[in-house]
Amino acid sequence: MTTTIEKQDIRKINAPALKDWLTQHGEQGFRAKQVSEWLWKKSATSFEDMSNLSLKTRQLLDEHFAINAIQTAKSQHSNDGTIKSAFRLHDGHLIEGVLIPADDRMTACVSSQVGCSLTCKFCATGYMDRKRNLDAAEMYDQVVAIDRQAKETFQTPLTNIVYMGMGEPLLNYANVLESVERITSPDGLGMSPKRITVSTAGIAKMIKKLGDDEVKFNLALSLHAANDQKRNQIMPINESNSLKNLAEALQYFYRKTKNRITFEYIVFHNFNDTLQDARELWEFTKKVPAKVNIIEYNPIAEANFKNTEADRLEQFAKFLESKDVVVNVRRSRGKDIDAACGQLANREKES
């Protein structure tokens, strides 16, 4: 009986290690730079594509390594132009990514985990189990695939990336930061970190670590309630990461990076949509330079929350604006294909 040994994904090897491996196998060291360029700049999905390498070198690489590129299993097109894609990973798991077109930008919403462990009550992904973290290359591949969709469908490249898909990015810290590094590197996609936003449900110690690492990308906090009692009800993570602890972490992050924070706030009907709630949110925004994105709620089958009425949402936003808070009201995109915020849940079966 023969056993098949799974080949290592070559994209998990750093450049010096790849150079050492190639020279040990009789290849010239400069080949490592050529291979890296194919993998990251040109997003090659097979060694056969690497046309400036000899057939012998390509066969050597193929014998020892794999390129575990994600595959697009299915794409759905919304009436508003949004495109949701189910991506199949090399081990059969499915994740989802979304292309959100707008007049002034083209945004990719990418996932960082298969499922999620945080159980936020209003989010479809929160009702799934967390299967595993994505590696940096799998997040990178989502950006490449969605950028290709943008160019093919709208003749426009991506302008922005948000880590707001499935999973909690700060519970996959090292891989998320490595993916950002690859995306922003001149040897990768060369995007500006200012065009990238990482969204967290609020893990205080990891927000501080972002500050220590002096990251250049933007940070968004999914807040949704500015008092602990209400936030505990909808986001169990708040029980171990209170608003006081989060405020301290955000202040630390701002001191280290000088990056203004974005607070994301879904206004639920008869839950967090009163002027008192707006006042509590305003008080919280005073703790650190911030802007507020008010997000329309997108219903899911697993929960009974409803979006607030238009007039209450308008009163809520106007109160904040009267206190000189920068407010954006975000209308849902892709709701008809379950591609809107909080709706990503892999309705298809994994293999």
CA torsion 330-332-338-341 (nearest 10°) is 10
Query: What CATH number is attached to the domain comprising 54?
Result: 1.10.150.530
Q: Which residue of the set 27, 296, 341, 348 is catalytic? A: 341
What pLDDT, on a 0 to 100 scale, did the predictor assign at position 336?
Answer: 56
Tokens 């999620």 — which residue? 116
- Global pTM value: 0.91
Tokens of 270: 């008869």
The predicted model gives 291-320 an average pLDDT of 88
Phi, psi of 325 (to 5 degrees): -85, 135
Task: Check whether 168 has a pLDDT greater than 70.
Answer: yes
Domain match, 113 and 260 both:
yes
Q: Domain for residue 348, yes or no?
A: no
Q: Is 341 a catalytic residue?
A: yes
What pLDDT, on a 0 to 100 scale, did the predictor assign at position 39?
Answer: 97
Q: Domain for residue 344, yes or no?
A: no
Q: How many domains does the chain have?
A: 2
Domain match, 214 and 260 both:
yes
Domain match, 314 and 327 both:
yes
Q: Which residue of the set 27, 96, 138, 296 is catalytic? A: 96
The parent domain of residue 158 ranges over: 71-337
Domain match, 42 and 84 both:
no
* Residue that is last in its domain, among 23, 38, 66: 66
Tokens of 264: 């994301």
Q: Is 116 a catalytic residue?
A: no
**Per-residue model confidence as pLDDT tens digits over 231-284:** 999 999 999 999 999 999 999 999 999 999 999 999 999 999 999 999 999 999
| Region at 150 (left for phi over 0; alpha for psi -120 to 50; beta for the rest) | alpha
Task: Check whether 346 has a pLDDT greater than 70.
Answer: no
At 333, the pLDDT band (50, 70, 90 cuts) reads low
At 335, the pLDDT band (50, 70, 90 cuts) reads low
CA torsion 116-135-88-120 (nearest 10°) is 10
Query: What CATH number is attached to the domain comprising 284?
Result: 3.20.20.70
